Amino acid sequence: MQIQFDQITVPPGHQAILHGIGWQQFESLLDEAGEHRATRYAYHDGELEMMSPLAAHEDYKAIIRSAVEILLEELGVEFRALGSTTLKSDRAAQAVEPDECFYIQHEAQIRGKERLDLNTDPPPDLALEIDLTSRTHFRHYAALGIPELWRYDGRELEILLLDNDAYRVNAISRLFPQFDLQTRIPEIVRQSQQEGRNVTLKAFRQEVIRRLA
> What's the pTM?
0.85
Domain boundaries, the chain: 54-212
Q: Give the tens place of pLDDT for each residue, 101-130.
A: 999 999 999 999 988 989 899 999 999 999
What was the pLDDT predicted at 90? Answer: 84
- The pairing of strands 166-169 and 157-163 is antiparallel
Q: Give the tens place of pLDDT for each residue, 15-30.
A: 778 888 888 888 887 7
Q: Specify the DSSP class assigned to residue 186.
A: H
Task: Please say if the pLDDT value at position 59 is more than 50.
Answer: yes
CA dihedral 78, 198, 63, 194 (to 10 degrees): 160
Task: Please say if the pLDDT value at position 37 is more than 70.
Answer: no
Q: How far apart are CA 67 and CA 61, in angstroms?
A: 10
Region 160-177: what's the mean pLDDT?
Answer: 96
DSSP letter for each residue of 34-84? -SS-S-EEEEETTEEEEEE--HHHHHHHHHHHHHHHHHHHHHT---EE-TT
Q: Specify the DSSP class assigned to residue 117.
A: -
Task: Please say if the pLDDT value at position 170 is more than 60.
Answer: yes
DSSP letter for each residue of 136-185? --HHHHHHHT-SEEEEE-SS-EEEEEEETTEEEE-SS-SS-TTS-HHHHH
CATH topology of domain 54-212: tt1808, chain A (3.90.1570)
